[in-house]
Structure 1
Amino acid sequence: MIISHQFSKVLRSIVIAIVVLFCLAPILWQVLTSFKTNTDIAAIPNIFLPRQFTLGHYEELFARRPVWNYLLNSTGVASISTLLSLGLGAPAAYVLARAKLPGERLILATILLLTLFPYILLFLGLLELVQNFGLGNQYLALIIPYTAINLPLTILVLRSFFQQLPIELEDAARIDGYSTLAMLVQIVLPMTVPALVTTGILAFIFAWNEFIFALTFITQESMKTIPVAASQLGGASVFEIPYGPIAAATVLGTLPLVGLVLAFQRRIISGLTAGAVKG
């Protein structure tokens, strides 16, 4: 019995390791490619581990393009749209969780449908709006759509969290003389930080990685975001694909997201598990 239990543990560990390796293999390949020499990149058969590590692709990338500028553009657009999504979504979610609104089920069904709606279908309509309002090459052309796309998911996630908060705390605060605003800021808001962080990171990742709108609405080189800039890296000739610099740009564009998740991993776990067990 003990041998069988130990065997099952070993087998489970092996399966988990295989799944993790399978998921991380493309990422590892991209990271290693950014450190390979051009000879190793072009080698046939392919070489997984570089025979010689080099930082030349990163140096070439920074020499050819204003990478820091692209990163700042992405950070600004993603941060502002995330803050707007949370600022608009949190009050709406609280109202839907606490107030008994007429047509509440219809409102929730509409929000749910919006979260499932493919945002790419909005492209042509948004393109006309951007042209009509003269928003081309302005960050508002990205911030407004990103906020609108992230709002339904933000409202649904935060509403679910607000429903799990004991309403007795709010009733006690009102008895103690708290105004509605003071109660929300001093009592409810601190308890919702994990959910806000989790939802905010999801919104930030979407805004950071979005490509189609950023490619179309922003054509000025200095205003481009990092996904667009990475996709437009060219070689010395038309027929050359600079795999090394592209891999380096991909790694640099992913590092801020990895750092963000690692910095708030405890909050993320708390937000994901909050309300899982009621009582």
Structure 2
Amino acid sequence: MNETRTKIGTWVGFLLILVWCLLPVVWIISLSFKGPNETAAGSPQFLPKKPTIKNYDDILSNSDFQDSLINSFGIAAISTFLSVILATLAAYAIARLEFKGKRLVLSIALAIAMFPVVALVGPLFDLWRTLGLFNTWPGLIIPYMSFTLPLAIWTLSAFFREIPWEMEQAAQVDGATSWQAFRKVIVPLAAPGVFTAAILTFFFAWNEFVLALSLTSTTQSRTVPAQLSYFVGPDPFNPPYGQLATASVVVTIPIIIIVLLFQRKIVAGLTSGAVKG
């Protein structure tokens, strides 16, 4: 009897959490199918009375939104690639080599990752204007890497520490150089950690808002989160809620696809880092 009650309570709690998490998502999707007249109503219905895809037509045909979507993909992909490459090399050195100040390096990396982004906006704005990096892709990629690289180093160093040192030594005994042993033996074994670091890095670069808004001035390099703040209605009291919701749905779709396609590797990477070390 007690076991049955426990199962019922578990399922009830699971359903409540599921509803709590998915309700805002369902509301945004519902809002994306509503017309301007319905979203401007004083008490709009949860489900659209007259569903329409006009918002999707307007968003997908908006040249500014298309440019910002390309910027988001390009900047996030480049930031992820560079961060993972540099973090892999740095994490391997931290895990395998003994040198003074190793703990200090990890502590500084963690402190940088936790540093408030808004505190860097002013100095970066002046510096980037002077160096000609304002409103450019490198002007966003560099600060993105300053936050994603420490997180990737922390994630990967835990994986490298758990790989047996003897496997690398065996490869070197068989005639492999240090670089060949690292590339052909160590990196494949650390693949779950590398993939986890890449996913976390990509998500940060894809969703970042403050730097993308402050360090850009046109759609030349402005990403989607920043571009959404420029979606204004006919007056300040009537924002285009339907278009904002539609843009949010469109931007979320790539993330959902990535998670669904690689969910096993994501879970494997996260759980491996949790149970080891």
TM bin (shorter chain): over 0.9
Change (3 A) 1:64 1:75: closer
The answer to whether the 8 Å contact 1:97/1:163 transfers is: yes
In the TM superposition, residue 268 of structure 1 has moved relative to its aligned partner by 0.5
What TM-score results when the alignment is normalised by the length of structure 2?
A: 0.94
Change (3 A) 1:128 1:222: closer
In the TM superposition, residue 62 of structure 1 has moved relative to its aligned partner by 3.0
Report the Cα distance in structure 2 between the residues aligned to 1:167 and 1:139, rounded to whole angstroms: 40
Report the Cα distance in structure 1 between the residues aligned to 2:57 and 2:275, rounded to whole angstroms: 51
Report the Cα distance in structure 2 between the residues aligned to 1:19 and 1:166, rounded to whole angstroms: 40
Corresponding residue for 1:172?
170
Map 1:103-182 to 2 at 5 A. Answer: 103-182=101-180
In the TM superposition, residue 184 of structure 1 has moved relative to its aligned partner by 1.1
Report the Cα distance in structure 1 between the residues aligned to 2:81 and 2:252, rounded to whole angstroms: 21
DSSP 3-state at the match of 1:223:
coil
The answer to whether the 8 Å contact 2:40/2:238 transfers is: no
Question: Equivalent of 1:262, from 260, 263, 268?
Answer: 260
**More displaced, 112-121 or 170-179?**
112-121
The answer to whether the 8 Å contact 2:59/2:247 transfers is: yes
Corresponding residue for 1:273?
271
Report the Cα distance in structure 1 between the residues aligned to 2:118 and 2:54, rounded to whole angstroms: 37
In the TM superposition, residue 222 of structure 1 has moved relative to its aligned partner by 4.0
Change (3 A) 1:135 1:156: same
Corresponding residue for 2:241?
243
The answer to whether the 8 Å contact 1:137/1:219 transfers is: yes
Map 1:1-279 to 2 at 5 A. Answer: 3-278=1-276
Report the Cα distance in structure 2 between the residues aligned to 1:238 and 1:113, rounded to whole angstroms: 39
DSSP 3-state at the match of 2:43:
coil
Structure 2 unaligned runs (5+)? none
- Percent sequence identity over aligned pairs: 38
Tell me which amino acid in the other structure corresponds to 1:154.
A
Q: How many residues align?
A: 277
Moved over 6 A (4+): none
Q: Deviations over 1:29-67 (max 9, x none)?
A: 111100123343234433212223210111122344443
In the TM superposition, residue 217 of structure 1 has moved relative to its aligned partner by 1.6
Q: Deviations over 1:169-209 (max 9, x none)?
A: 11211111111111111111111221111111111111111
The answer to whether the 8 Å contact 1:70/1:224 transfers is: yes
Report the Cα distance in structure 1 between the residues aligned to 2:24 and 2:189, rounded to whole angstroms: 38
In the TM superposition, residue 89 of structure 1 has moved relative to its aligned partner by 0.9
Q: Deviations over 1:248-267 (max 9, x none)?
A: 11111111111112221111
Report the Cα distance in structure 2 between the residues aligned to 1:278 and 1:23, rounded to whole angstroms: 30
In the TM superposition, residue 278 of structure 1 has moved relative to its aligned partner by 4.6
DSSP 3-state at the match of 2:123:
helix
The answer to whether the 8 Å contact 2:95/2:161 transfers is: yes
Structure 1 unaligned runs (5+)? none
In the TM superposition, residue 236 of structure 1 has moved relative to its aligned partner by 3.0
Report the Cα distance in structure 2 between the residues aligned to 1:10 and 1:40, rounded to whole angstroms: 40
In the TM superposition, residue 105 of structure 1 has moved relative to its aligned partner by 1.9
Tell me which amino acid in the other structure corresponds to 2:256.
V
What is the aligned-residue RMSD (CA, Å)? 1.7
The answer to whether the 8 Å contact 1:164/1:275 transfers is: no
Report the Cα distance in structure 2 between the residues aligned to 1:52 and 1:263, rounded to whole angstroms: 34
The answer to whether the 8 Å contact 1:194/1:267 transfers is: yes
In the TM superposition, residue 17 of structure 1 has moved relative to its aligned partner by 1.0
DSSP 3-state at the match of 1:221:
coil
